[in-house]
């Protein structure tokens, strides 16, 4: 049976917590010698929270705040380049023009598209940045959910797929094979943002920090002093006060995709906001998927892919990628939740 | 009529630029329509990297062939932002000039290096895009302008608002459709609430870096030190001084101001607060000039008595416009905007969107039609009300008047630069634009330093050769 999430049936973000941070359990003697700065900023329609620990022998608080501002500046510039909602972003430029012929773009956008192609290939098309026409068809952009007619679905599916995106890396160009293909980096935007932010912080010598974007993507630099890692707790899909998993991450990124935050109900059935790009339909049978990976781009893309793939294929992916860990939670009754840990060196695996 | 500028409109400007070429007697270069110009980037820190990512990389007619920076982290970042691969890396620009083949450079370095770099690159036959402020003194500015003219090379200055379609459309609305009426006041500010410092890495410099960088703090935070920068006047104000010059199609007659280092007393040598007034004398030869109808009996009688009425009964004598400017570092509420204030309405200009406020009783055809035209959903027409302030609700409800475009202003300015370098013509932000904004910035700085007004001598921006139009715009 399909378990019913307890939240309101309205669409849009319920404002709940996907992945909850706890910054260490108690202040250790080692941490007592550090000072902590936490800064919150809005970007990408969510709240970014950066917490840094620094040694007062090396940094003064103004230095650290300056470094954090440099990181946020990079995040804002990234958003201006990749958001499909900003009219003169590179994404908008590509979407408007690439069907007519090759469009010249910056090197980092080419790299991003190459990664999107690679991860699409590695996951059998479970993650795809061209899924926009499906999201549009199902009414998620407008927050007006509707079940599309089969011919419409087939028409939208014909515009989806990384094979429709042609890259020329030496020339730094991108072209679409068909009219109506649309790039949407929304599925990896937060991960990308944390990648650039972490790079800035590392460049300035920061060795202990935890950053999150909307609590669904987390980046960890080093560890809190005296601790084995930064503690991240993953919430119970049925009860946001409860946690189903607690893990430690260090120099890693973690992303969670869940069906319990954004969904809509039509004709008595709930549809989640994550689409299977292969079928054109919202994914069924999963409550959440968490990916832990060396980059935010990877963890964001893979949490979505794992949600689409389900436990068995996620396990197969992770066997081939030992640098990636996963926790997948299939749909189950609240008292029978069975999170599956993959690539964790514990008996729970 | 529509308030949207089409891409076709932008192309028409390119045609207009070609017309300027012929007027100047310059021969276009022999590039095919689909060819690209080879560009090297000198200075790949914050602004240089921004141009590499958002402008140079996206420009359809540019190939980035080399990057140059004296600080290794910036050099590596710039190389990556340029696309990596075959892009060459240099720390010494002279070596790059010797070894690499390219036609143009993008100079985005601290102000104190603009003069030497621009001069050397022009003398090496390279077209130059030089960030504002053009140079550290008026004499230096004039010298590089003269070299660019003599060598028939493009010298474009980084005033990106000149390539923002919304600003260009606003100029058209102001000059050709008179939606502001007579511009009688300009009020701009750039307010922020931070120390304007950049963090400095603790990593030691390499021996190679030390050849170029005696003090990393001064190198990274160059905007705070007098020998390297004019502070707020040269790094921020010149953008907005240029806007006043553009809308009024004029240069100020004089400037006076007050300022100091009053909040961030942290060892910096430049002011953290500046307040200035620039006085412009506007006459019919300025495109920003507008004759007005007498609005009262007394005004009519006085104008008739002083012979100020033209044949149409309009008051057409020259007048003054005051431009009030401030930049502070301890409050960010007003942010960065340019208010262009006329007797019919006001433009509140920003780089990301602009507003039009109509004065009570103003007859503004554009605004009326914008309200009715379904195609103009983005047109804003709200009434500011006689002396009433705008409520937050009105501002929140307001929609920007913006021009649809999927090209960023940075992409436009570099495509325009490359187009002029390949095919002739003068860029919108040509060397006269840069010279004039630099003169305004340096004159303001001198007024602050010396505590007296500075008269801006027209000889500073006059040459004995034909110079490009400093008030070009492109039309819808």
CATH number of the domain that residue B424 is part of: 3.40.50.720
Mapped onto helix, strand or coil, the DSSP state of residue B372 is: helix
| Overall residue count recorded for chain A in this entry | 349
pLDDT band with cut points at 50, 70 and 90 for residue B374: very low
Candidate from A23-27, A74-78, B144-148, B179-183 with smallest mean pLDDT: A23-27
Report CA A344 to chain centroid distance, whole Å: 20
> Which of A58, A87, A104 minimises the CB distance to B405?
A87
Q: Is B95 exposed, middle or buried (0-12, 13-18, 19+ CB in 10 A)?
A: exposed
Tokens at A322, concatenated: 């030992």
Which long-range contacts link B91-96 to residues 24+ away (Cβ below 8 Å)?
Answer: B91/B208, B91/B209, B91/B212, B92/B68, B92/B212, B93/B42, B93/B68, B93/B117, B93/B120, B93/B121, B94/B120, B96/B40, B96/B42, B96/B66, B96/B68
Q: In chain A, which residues have their Cβ closer than 8 Å to the Cβ of B411?
A: 88, 93
**Tokens 């997948």 correspond to what residue?**
A328
* Model pLDDT, residue B383: 35
Q: What percent of chain A has pLDDT over 90?
A: 61
* Model pLDDT, residue A30: 56
Domain assignment present for B197? no
Contact state of B406 with A88 under an 8 Å Cβ cutoff: yes
Q: In chain B, which residues have their Cβ closer than 8 Å to the Cβ of A104?
A: 57-60
Mapped onto helix, strand or coil, the DSSP state of residue B235 is: helix
Tokens at A23, concatenated: 């910054």
Q: Which residue of chain A is at minimal alpha-carbon distance from B58?
A: A105
Say which residues have a Cβ less than 8 Å from residue A285's Cβ, sequence separation at least 6. Answer: A310, A330, A331
Q: At what angle do helices B114-123 and B138-150 cross, to 10 degrees?
A: 10
Q: What percent of chain A has pLDDT over 70?
A: 87
What is the C-alpha to C-alpha distance for residues B336 and B187, in angstroms, rounded to an integer? 11
* Model pLDDT, residue B475: 64
Mapped onto helix, strand or coil, the DSSP state of residue B223 is: helix
B194 touches chain A (CB under 8 A): yes
A260 secondary structure, DSSP code: S
Contact state of B201 with A62 under an 8 Å Cβ cutoff: no
E strands, chain A, in order: 19-22, 35-43, 46-54, 103-104, 165-168, 173-176, 209-213, 217-221, 230-236, 239-249, 252-258, 263-266, 269-272, 275-276, 281-282, 286-293, 325-330, 340-342
Q: Can you tell me the mean pLDDT for A172-193?
A: 95
Q: Is B101 exposed, middle or buried (0-12, 13-18, 19+ CB in 10 A)?
A: exposed
Residue B375 has pLDDT above 80, yes or no: no
pLDDT tens-digit series, residues B82-125: 999 999 999 999 999 999 999 999 999 999 999 999 999 999 99
* Model pLDDT, residue A74: 93
pLDDT tens-digit series, residues A138-148: 887 666 777 88
* Gap from B249 CA to chain A (nearest CA, Å): 28
Higher per-residue pLDDT: B447 or A66 = B447
Alpha helices in B24-108 (DSSP H): 46-50, 72-81, 93-99
> Which of B60, B198, B202 minimises the CB distance to A66?
B198
Task: Please count the residue pairs, one from chain A and one from chain B, whose beta carbons lie less than 8 angstroms apart.
Answer: 71
B336 in Cβ contact with B191 (< 8 Å): yes
Q: Which residue of chain A is at minimal alpha-carbon distance from B81?
A: A107
Residue B8 has pLDDT above 80, yes or no: no
Q: What percent of chain B has pLDDT over 70?
A: 84
Contact state of A106 with B53 under an 8 Å Cβ cutoff: yes
Q: In chain B, which residues have their Cβ closer than 8 Å to the Cβ of A77?
A: 50, 53-54
Give me the interface pTM, i.e. the ipTM: 0.79
Residue B363 has pLDDT above 90, yes or no: no
The reply to whether CATH 3.30.930.10 applies to domain A1-349 is: no
Q: What separation, in Å, do the N-terminal and C-terminal C-alpha atoms of chain B show?
A: 11
B211 touches chain A (CB under 8 A): no
Mapped onto helix, strand or coil, the DSSP state of residue B348 is: strand
pLDDT band with cut points at 50, 70 and 90 for residue A226: confident
Q: C-alpha distances in angstroms, A176 versus A100, A103, A169, A206, B180?
A: 8, 9, 15, 41, 44
B471 in Cβ contact with B10 (< 8 Å): no
Of B240, B237, B205, B207, the closest CA to residue B220 belongs to: B205
Q: Which domain holds residue B48?
A: 8-163+410-461
Domain assignment present for B89? yes
Alpha helices in A129-271 (DSSP H): 132-137, 150-157, 189-203
Q: Which residue of chain A is at minimal alpha-carbon distance from B74?
A: A203
Q: In chain B, which residues have their Cβ closer than 8 Å to the Cβ of A106?
A: 52-54, 57-58, 81, 83
* Model pLDDT, residue B389: 36
Tokens at B141, concatenated: 């500015």
Residue of A107, A200, A202 to mutate, interface with B, max B Cβ within 10 Å? A107
Contact state of B81 with A106 under an 8 Å Cβ cutoff: yes
Q: Which residues pair with A103 in a beta bridge?
A: A174
Residue B264 has pLDDT above 90, yes or no: yes
Residue of A55, A104, A173, A207 to mutate, interface with B, max B Cβ within 10 Å? A104
Q: Which residues pair with A231 in a beta bridge?
A: A22, A248
Q: Which residue of chain A is at minimal alpha-carbon distance from B404?
A: A87
Domain assignment present for B290? no
Query: Which of left, alpha, beta for B75 (phi over 0: left; psi -120 to 50: alpha)?
Result: alpha
Of B332, B324, B389, the closest CA to residue B357 belongs to: B389
Contact state of B80 with A204 under an 8 Å Cβ cutoff: no
Contact state of A88 with B405 under an 8 Å Cβ cutoff: yes
* Gap from B217 CA to chain A (nearest CA, Å): 12
> Which of A77, A104, A205 minimises the CB distance to B202?
A205
pLDDT tens-digit series, residues B55-71: 999 999 999 999 999 99
B199 touches chain A (CB under 8 A): yes
Q: Which residue of chain B is at minimal alpha-carbon distance from A88?
A: B406
* Model pLDDT, residue A34: 86
Q: DSSP letter string over A91-134?
A: HHHHHHHGGGS-EE--HHHHHHHHHHHHHHHHTTTSS-TT-HHH
Residue A267 has pLDDT above 80, yes or no: no
B83 touches chain A (CB under 8 A): yes
Q: Which residue of chain A is at minimal alpha-carbon distance from B47?
A: A77
B57 touches chain A (CB under 8 A): yes
Report CA B418 to chain centroid distance, whole Å: 18
What is the C-alpha to C-alpha distance for residues A341 and A291, in angstroms, rounded to an integer? 10
Contact state of B404 with A110 under an 8 Å Cβ cutoff: no
User: What H or E segment, with its residue span, contains residue B454?
Assistant: strand B454-455
Burial B307-327 (b: 16+ CB within 10 A, else e): ebbeeeeebbeebebebbbbb
Mean residue pLDDT across chain B: 86
Q: What is the pTM of this model?
A: 0.85
* Gap from B117 CA to chain A (nearest CA, Å): 26
Domain assignment present for B177? no
Q: Structurally, how many domains does chain B consist of?
A: 1
What is the C-alpha to C-alpha distance for residues A222 and A251, in angstroms, rounded to an integer? 5
pLDDT tens-digit series, residues B121-172: 999 999 999 999 999 999 999 999 999 999 999 999 999 999 998 899 899 9
Q: Dihedral angle at the C-alpha atoms of A160, A164, A168, A172, nearest 10 degrees? A: -40
Domain assignment present for B219? no
Candidate from A51-55, A188-192, B4-8, B244-248 with smallest mean pLDDT: B4-8
Contact state of B408 with A88 under an 8 Å Cβ cutoff: yes
Q: Which residue of chain B is at minimal alpha-carbon distance from A204?
A: B201
Contact state of A203 with B60 under an 8 Å Cβ cutoff: no
User: What H or E segment, with its residue span, contains residue B382?
Assistant: strand B382-383
Domain assignment present for B418? yes
Q: In chain A, which residues have their Cβ closer than 8 Å to the Cβ of B57?
A: 104-107, 172
Contact state of A203 with B201 under an 8 Å Cβ cutoff: yes
What is the C-alpha to C-alpha distance for residues A132 and A141, in angstroms, rounded to an integer? 9
Q: How many CA atoms lie within 13 A of A175 on its CB side?
A: 8
Residue A135 has pLDDT above 70, yes or no: yes
Q: Is the peptide bond before B133 cis (omega within 30 degrees of 0)?
A: yes
**Tokens 């960030």 correspond to what residue?**
B131
pLDDT tens-digit series, residues B321-362: 999 999 999 999 999 999 999 998 889 999 877 888 878 777
Domain assignment present for B284? no
| Overall residue count recorded for chain B in this entry | 476
Residue of B53, B86, B407 to mutate, interface with A, max A Cβ within 10 Å? B53
pLDDT band with cut points at 50, 70 and 90 for residue B367: low
3-state DSSP of B92-150: CHHHHHHHCCCCEEEECCCHHHHHHHHHHHHHCCCEEEECCCCCCCHHHHHHHHHHHHH
B94 touches chain A (CB under 8 A): no
pLDDT tens-digit series, residues A314-325: 999 999 999 999
Residue of B199, B408, B412 to mutate, interface with A, max A Cβ within 10 Å? B199
The phi, psi pair for B90, rounded to 5°, reads -140, 150
Domain assignment present for B445? yes
Mapped onto helix, strand or coil, the DSSP state of residue B474 is: coil
* Gap from B85 CA to chain A (nearest CA, Å): 8
């Amino acid at each position: 049976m399909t378990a019913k999430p307890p939240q309101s049936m309205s669409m849009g973000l319920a404002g709940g917590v996907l992945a909850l941070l706890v910054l260490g359990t108690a202040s250790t003697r080692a941490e007592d010698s550090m000072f902590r700065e936490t800064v919150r900023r809005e970007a990408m329609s969510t709240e970014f929270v950066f917490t840094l620990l620094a040694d007062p022998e090396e940094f003064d608080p103004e230095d650290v705040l300056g470094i954090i501002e440099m990181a946020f500046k990079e995040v804002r510039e990234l958003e201006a380049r990749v958001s499909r909602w900003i009219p003169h972003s590179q994404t908008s430029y590509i979407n408007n023009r690439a069907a007519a012929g090759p469009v010249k773009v910056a090197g980092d956008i080419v790299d991003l598209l190459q990664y999107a192609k690679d991860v699409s290939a590695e996951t059998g098309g479970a993650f795809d940045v061209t899924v926009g026409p499906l999201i549009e068809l199902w009414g998620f952009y407008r927050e007006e959910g509707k079940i599309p007619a089969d011919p419409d679905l087939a028409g939208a599916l014909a515009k989806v797929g990384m094979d429709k995106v042609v890259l020329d890396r030496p020339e730094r160009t991108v072209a679409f094979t068909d009219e109506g293909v649309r790039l949407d980096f929304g599925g990896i935007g937060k991960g990308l943002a944390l990648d650039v932010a972490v790079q800035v912080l590392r460049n300035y010598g920061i060795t202990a920090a935890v950053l999150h974007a909307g609590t669904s993507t987390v980046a960890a630099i080093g560890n809190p002093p005296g601790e084995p890692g930064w503690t991240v707790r993953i919430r119970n899909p049925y009860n946001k006060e409860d946690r189903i998993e607690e893990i430690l991450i260090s120099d890693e990124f973690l992303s969670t995709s869940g069906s319990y935050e954004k969904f809509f109900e039509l004709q008595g059935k709930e549809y989640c906001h994550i689409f299977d790009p292969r079928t054109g339909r919202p994914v069924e049978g999963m409550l959440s998927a968490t990916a832990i990976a060396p980059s935010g781009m990877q963890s964001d893309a893979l949490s979505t892919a794992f949600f689409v793939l389900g436990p068995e294929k996620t396990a197969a992916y992770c066997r081939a990628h030992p640098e990636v860990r996963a926790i997948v939670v299939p749909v189950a009754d609240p008292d029978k939740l069975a999170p599956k840990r993959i690539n964790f060196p514990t008996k729970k695996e | 009529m529509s308030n949207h500028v089409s891409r076709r409109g932008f192309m028409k400007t390119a045609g207009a630029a070609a017309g300027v070429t012929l007027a100047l007697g310059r021969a276009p270069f022999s590039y095919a329509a689909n060819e690209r110009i080879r560009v090297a980037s000198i200075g790949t820190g914050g602004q240089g990297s921004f141009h590499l990512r958002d402008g140079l990389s996206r420009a359809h007619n540019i190939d980035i062939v080399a990057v140059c920076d004296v600080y290794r982290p910036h050099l590596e970042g710039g190389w990556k932002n340029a696309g990596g691969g075959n892009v060459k890396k240099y720390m010494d620009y002279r070596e790059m000039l010797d070894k690499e083949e390219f036609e143009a450079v993008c100079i985005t370095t601290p102000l104190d290096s603009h003069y030497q770099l621009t001069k050397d690159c022009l003398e090496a036959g390279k077209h130059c895009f030089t960030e504002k402020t053009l140079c550290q003194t008026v004499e230096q500015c004039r010298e590089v302008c003269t070299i660019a003219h003599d060598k028939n090379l493009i010298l474009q200055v980084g005033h990106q608002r000149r390539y923002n379609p919304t600003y260009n459309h606003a100029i058209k609305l102001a000059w050709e459709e008179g939606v502001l009426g007579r511009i009688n006041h300009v009020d701009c500010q750039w307010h922020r609430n931070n120390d304007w410092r950049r963090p400095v890495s603790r990593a030691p410099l390499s021996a190679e870096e030390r050849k170029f960088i005696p003090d990393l703090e001064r190198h990274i935070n160059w905007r705070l030190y007098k020998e390297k920068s004019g502070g707020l006047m040269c790094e921020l104000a010149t953008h907005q001084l240029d806007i006043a010059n553009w809308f009024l199609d004029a240069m100020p007659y004089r400037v006076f101001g007050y300022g100091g280092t009053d909040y961030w007393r942290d060892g910096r040598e430049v002011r953290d607060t500046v307040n200035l007034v620039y006085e412009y004398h506007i006459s019919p030869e300025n495109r920003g000039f507008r004759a007005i109808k007498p609005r009262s009996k007394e005004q009519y009688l006085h104008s008739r008595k002083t012979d100020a009425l033209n044949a149409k009964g309009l008051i057409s004598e020259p007048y003054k416009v005051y431009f009030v400017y401030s930049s502070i570092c301890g409050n960010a509420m007003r942010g960065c905007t340019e208010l262009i204030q006329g007797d019919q309405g006001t433009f509140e200009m920003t780089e990301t969107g602009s507003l039009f406020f109509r004065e009570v009783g103003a007859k503004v055809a554009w605004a009326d039609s914008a309200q009715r035209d379904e195609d103009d959903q983005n047109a804003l027409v709200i009434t500011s009300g006689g002396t009433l302030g705008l409520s937050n609700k009105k501002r929140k409800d307001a929609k920007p008047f913006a021009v649809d475009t999927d090209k960023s202003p940075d992409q436009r300015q570099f495509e325009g630069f490359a187009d002029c370098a390949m095919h002739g013509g003068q860029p919108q932000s040509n060397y006269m634009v840069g010279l004039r904004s630099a003169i305004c910035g340096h004159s303001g700085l001198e007024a602050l330093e010396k505590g007296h007004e500075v008269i801006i001598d027209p000889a500073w921006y006059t040459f004995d050769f034909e110079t490009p139009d400093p008030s070009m715009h492109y039309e819808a």
